Structure 1
Amino acid sequence: MLAELAVYLASPAPRAAHRSGAVRDAVALWARGRRCARAWAEHEARTRAAFETAIAAVGGGDTAVVLGSGLLRDVPMASLAARFRKVVLVDLVHLAPVRLAVLGRRWRHVEFMTRDISGYDELVQRSRIAAATGQDDIGGRLDPLAFVRRMDGVDLVLSANVLSQIGVGAERRLRGRGGHARLLPEDAVARLIAAHLESLAGLSCRTCLVTDVAYEIRDREDALIEGVDLLHGVDAPDADDRWTWPVVPFGEENRDWRRVHEVIAVQDVVIDLV
């Protein structure tokens, strides 16, 4: 607990990230990652391998962008730093241990960008315009990654286990005080998840997506207790690889059950926008 408090206090973040609980969640993930290092090792290795495949396909270049950089445990930073002139790590929260790890490697060409990539605020704005004008469709599409398109020389974009978290974060904001539940459409969470995929597919550079798409809670007899679709009905792109990730092993939250996530890796995301 003292280590978690120290990380929380040492990690700069926007006030909105503190209010939403994003900083608290990031610290909790950091702590769980340390406790569950053995259980998470295969998932992290396979995520890095998927990203290494994308890096090798590009061969290097000007700029690489990592969406949802998080703890960097699943990101092959050494390869990115060696092959690209600039690496941009994008997340709502960059914890102090992560910043110190990058600083310690003297990667001066690695930048931290603090940003909400969910598209939630854009959807709120579009919904307000629709309500004010009485139009159900105001035209255009949600484009939460437009900021990437405005960057110069982007050769590679990695979406690092962040897609499902867009849905989790959106649900929390919808339920919270001032969460716009009455303003936003009923399928708001699904729209945000779809928008990330569409925006990623719309980039002109090489892309790679790794995300969990569902989870199951099972007991020690392997009986199913609960199953959840983390993409809220949105079809995932065709996977190039697929595996399971024991996010919550036995004993982490309950001695009698565990939560196992299904993960996919997609090289060069392509989806049908019709």
Structure 2
Amino acid sequence: MLKEFFQFYTSPSSRLARKMGFLHEAIAMSARHQRCQSTWQPHFEQCQAAIRQAVAECTSFRHIVVLGAGSLNDIPLSFLSQTFDSVTLVDMVFLKPARRQAAEYDNVTLLDADVSGCLEKVEQGDSAAEPPSLPGIEPEKVDCVVSLNLATQLPLIPVRWLMDRFGLSENKADAFGKALIQAHLTYLNRFGGVKCLIADREMREYDRSGRLTDQLDPAWDVPLPAYELAWDWEVIPFGESSENAARCQTNRVGVSIWSSSVEGV
């Protein structure tokens, strides 16, 4: 707990990242990773392999952008640095270990940015969603864009913020969550190169007997592009949840890779 407290006050981050809870969430996820390394490492390795597969479909290698780069644990950073002229990693928060790792490469840039494109408005109670405009990124000049474990997470903090502070109704919260994910998919299709979407496709909860106790669509019922490879990620092992230690949560993660625009996205 003291380590997390110290991290919060010493980690570089934006005003919104602190105020809205993104920094707190990044620190909590880092701590959970330390506790759950054995169940998370296979997921990280699968993500890295999926990114390599997407890169293999590129025909030029000027610039790659990774949205939701976060901890960098699930990114083959050395490979990307050697393969592309320029690598841009985007997220709301980068903790110090990620910053140190990125600093080892001259052609890797960290971009602290709002990937949803709407947080300043959300802070004031506005629930409008639209694709972002990220500084220094020209989609038509990017040869590969990766959305990394991000799409289904985008609505969580903004929706909670609006419900808690502005009394957003459940129906409007659901509509806003869907709109955020759809805007993200629209943004991906603005890129001219290879698109790689790595995202949760299903969340399942089990009890200790192996019985399925809950199941939901983490994409808020927004249709995602069909995936070509997938794996199970034990996100919350037994004993990890503070709410119910007798439950575990497993996410089905799917990877979609495409070059032209996907119909309906």
User: Which AA in structure 2 matches 1:250?
Assistant: F
Structure 2 residue 195 is the aligned partner of structure 1 residue 204: no
How far did 1:167 drift?
2.0
Structure 2 residue 216 is the aligned partner of structure 1 residue 218: no
Paired residue for 1:79?
A: 79
Structure 2 residue 150 is the aligned partner of structure 1 residue 162: yes
Residues 240 and 266, structure 1, Cα contact 8 Å, conserved in 2: yes
Deviations 1:197-246 (A, max 9, x none): 12212321111110112211110112222222211110111101111110
Identity across the alignment (%): 31
- 1:247 alignment partner, SS class: strand
User: Which AA in structure 2 matches 1:191?
Assistant: A
How far did 1:98 drift?
0.7
One of 168, 182, 191 as aligned partner of 2:179: 191
User: Which AA in structure 2 matches 1:43?
Assistant: H
User: Which AA in structure 2 matches 1:71?
Assistant: S
How many matched pairs? 261
User: Which AA in structure 1 matches 2:262?
Assistant: I
One of 111, 115, 137 as aligned partner of 1:117: 115
Residues 249 and 259, structure 1, Cα contact 8 Å, conserved in 2: yes
How far did 1:32 drift?
0.7
Give me the TM-score of the superposition, normalised by structure 1.
0.85
Structure 2 residue 246 is the aligned partner of structure 1 residue 256: yes
Paired residue for 1:268?
A: 258
Specify every segment of 5 or more residues in structure 1 that has no aligned partner in the other structure, as ranges. Answer: 131-140
User: Which AA in structure 1 matches 2:247?
Assistant: W
Paired residue for 1:26?
A: 26
Structure 2 residue 84 is the aligned partner of structure 1 residue 107: no
Paired residue for 2:227?
A: 239
Residues 61 and 83, structure 2, Cα contact 8 Å, conserved in 1: yes
Q: How much is the aligned-residue C-alpha RMSD, in angstroms?
A: 2.8
Residues 124 and 180, structure 1, Cα contact 8 Å, conserved in 2: no
The 1-side partners of 2:231 and 2:133 are apart by: 27
Paired residue for 1:10?
A: 10
Structure 2 residue 42 is the aligned partner of structure 1 residue 42: yes
Change (3 A) 1:80 1:216: same
The 2-side partners of 1:42 and 1:186 are apart by: 32
Give me the TM-score of the superposition, normalised by structure 2.
0.88
Change (3 A) 1:145 1:230: farther
Structure 2 residue 153 is the aligned partner of structure 1 residue 153: no
How far did 1:118 drift?
1.4
How far did 1:177 drift?
1.8
- 2:85 alignment partner, SS class: strand
The 2-side partners of 1:59 and 1:33 are apart by: 35
- 1:61 alignment partner, SS class: coil
- 2:188 alignment partner, SS class: helix
